Amino acid sequence: MKTLKLFLPVLTTVLLFILAPSTSKASSDTVYVHAFSFGSSQDSTILFPPAGQYRKVLMYYTLKCNPKQSPACGQWDYLTYTYLYQHTGIYDSVVSAIDSIYNKNTGKYVKDTIWKKVEKLNRYELGRYITPYGINLSLGNGFTWTYDVTDYLPLLHDSVHLSAGNWQEWLDLNFAFIKGTPARKPYKVVNVWTGEFNYGGNPDMGTQMGTKTVMTDSNAAYTRMVIRVTGHGEDGSNCAEFCPENHFLNVDGEQRWTQYVWRDNCAYNPIIDQGGTWLYQRANWCPGAEVKTYTTELSFYVTPGKNSSYTYSADAYTTTSSNSGNSNPYYNIEAQLISYGAANFKLNASVENILSPTTDNMFGHNNPVCSNPQIIIKNNGTTPITSLTIKYGRKGGNLSNYQWKGNLNFLDVDTVTLGQFDWADGPPPYVFEASVSNPNGSTDEYSADDTMYSYIPVTKTLPYSFIIQTKTNNSASDNAYTLTDADGYVLYHRDNMANNTLYRDTVTLQHGCYTFRFTDSNQDGLSFFANTTQGTGSLRLTTAAGKNIIMFNPDFGAEVLMNFNVGYGLGIEPQSYPQNIDVFPNPSNGSFSIDATSLEQNPCTLQVYDLVGKLVMSKTISGTEDHLINVNMSSKPAGIYIVNVSTAEKTFTQKIVLTR
């Protein structure tokens, strides 16, 4: 067992910004606990702060690829957990017949009554994660996922035995204890179901899980169930990993919770271009993403001090014998009953999170931005909130006002999209601020959770005029793009494109902030190894002279989303433009085209070789052609060929596959 790791108190907002890997709350003393470091053991006893008054506990789960193994990130999408083990002081001392030692002096066997004694541990899952497909993947210096683990405050104090990670990627695990008064304080956690339960067959999952009888704590003002469920395995019919099903919780014979267990946003994952089928929708999980925790309030259905019976089930499903050769479908389910004290506020609104602008990796798909921030607000009081004043903008600058109206009951949240703000007003550092006030036109009872800050990642700065260049694949009907200004007006748009066609659209913009969105309705990008029939396309932004500004990864899943600015001079401006040629369609039946934008209309020579180095085609291209070279090799046999395009200054090489 490792030496106990110490916690660190952080007393200033400045340090809070520096140390927190995620968006940070303002004006609160925070205690940080560094549990595991990259490359260290991921099973250890950690010293947490004593039990105290904390309004929120966040767990920062950071992975990076392990340079000591190949591939550096684990090859497959591994199911991983963060477990907390609670010592009970109760030991299992049962000794079986095989637990014996042969005494050669007496010629008799003596039962071993020592080594079999094992302490019984209560295991609690704090969070669940699915690793990305790791072949050819890089997580850079680390990619962080943030979990709200406030419900586990009763367990996270003093010496705590933790186990996390999957022993593939390196893990850095941190906790932030934010001091203050919570909306309601959790004080007890009880496991109801834990483990893997087969789905289908006889008995069914609900029968396996059985009915659980749990006494509602006599001091509980509020009770809720937290449920973490993911589907795995398949029997030839895609269940349970790839089949969406409804799940149910009954309390004392009455159905009190229904959940469609499915995650349909895997193709929007900020970790794109993974080595496997990362973009497929699955049963509440995506490779390279945290697992969502479901919650359901039970306070109206249970009575403190009395027993309640709980049953869990899912839509009926039967595994057929013809599919018995495949892996068994199952759901991994953790369900915990949380007991809370009384509500601490009647009228209290909070900024719960900043979705943009932020450097939080989990929201990387939508960031950076230079307009229209998004925040999450929450009602932490028992009085419904119907109106709020939201102030936002760059910290230290001129803040904008937004008048929110809606209806938030106790603990409800709402995602709010705000208007433009002066993000480039003044020198760095760029820090965004959002705060709430005047709930229902009255005074907020608790100010410590009113304000939140985040760093502003700077958008790319593009020229006033550039070209959107799209080379479609065999499924062009899947694709469309829009370019909008900061007010959401569509300035440029294209859809209904033809297959295997090159489009070059010139864009001219004014000083301002813009959003470019290129979508794929089938959610498999312009290129995806598991769908070779769609072929390969490309997407890039170029200068008017044909130099590449940005070349987007064609394996982008559902969409390319890029916010950028024109004329601010504060963004990330490309210092050099990557140059290449594209050959499409690839594979080809013999007729294909070469996008030679990078040649800048210079005269060039086209040469095609087979794999043994024999020249099979040569052609001189004049500088007057519009960047597109059409080639017909339908008379050549199927196989792999090498395409060379040369000018006096440079040579480009690509492979082409001919099929018949």
pLDDT digit string (tens) for 458-499? 899 999 999 999 999 999 999 999 999 999 999 999 999 999
pLDDT of residue 229: 97
Distance, CA of 176 to CA of 54 (rounded, Å): 10
Distance between terminal CA atoms of the chain? Answer: 63
DSSP notation for 344-364: --SS-EEEEEEEES---GGGG
pLDDT of residue 2: 40
Distance, CA of 488 to CA of 95 (rounded, Å): 71
Q: Could you tell me the fold of the domain covering 1-87+122-182?
A: Jelly Rolls (2.60.120)
Correct CATH for 580-660 of 3.40.1170.60, 1.10.357.140, 3.40.190.10, 2.60.40.3080: 2.60.40.3080
Tokens of 660: 């018949």
Distance, CA of 562 to CA of 369 (rounded, Å): 8
Query: Where are the chain's structural domains?
Result: 1-87+122-182, 349-455, 459-578, 580-660
pLDDT of residue 133: 93
pLDDT of residue 116: 53
What pTM was estimated for this model as a whole? 0.85
124 and 193 Cβ atoms separated by less than 8 Å: no
In degrees and rounded to multiples of 5, residue 268 shows phi and psi of: -100, 10
DSSP class of residue 263? B
Distance, CA of 262 to CA of 231 (rounded, Å): 9
54 and 151 Cβ atoms separated by less than 8 Å: no
Residues of the chain short of pLDDT 70, as ranges, are 1-28, 92-118, 202-203, 320-327, 425, 574-580, 596-602, 623-627
- Which residues is 290 bridged to in the sheet? 129
Superfamily of domain 349-455: Immunoglobulins (2.60.40.10)
Helix (H), strand (E) at residue 620 = strand 615-621
pLDDT of residue 57: 97
Which residue type, as a one-letter code, is found at position 491?
Answer: L
Distance, CA of 498 to CA of 493 (rounded, Å): 15
pLDDT of residue 16: 37
Find out if CATH 1.10.4190 is the number for domain 459-578: no
265 and 289 Cβ atoms separated by less than 8 Å: no
pLDDT of residue 8: 45
Same fold, 1-87+122-182 and 580-660: no
Distance, CA of 646 to CA of 604 (rounded, Å): 5
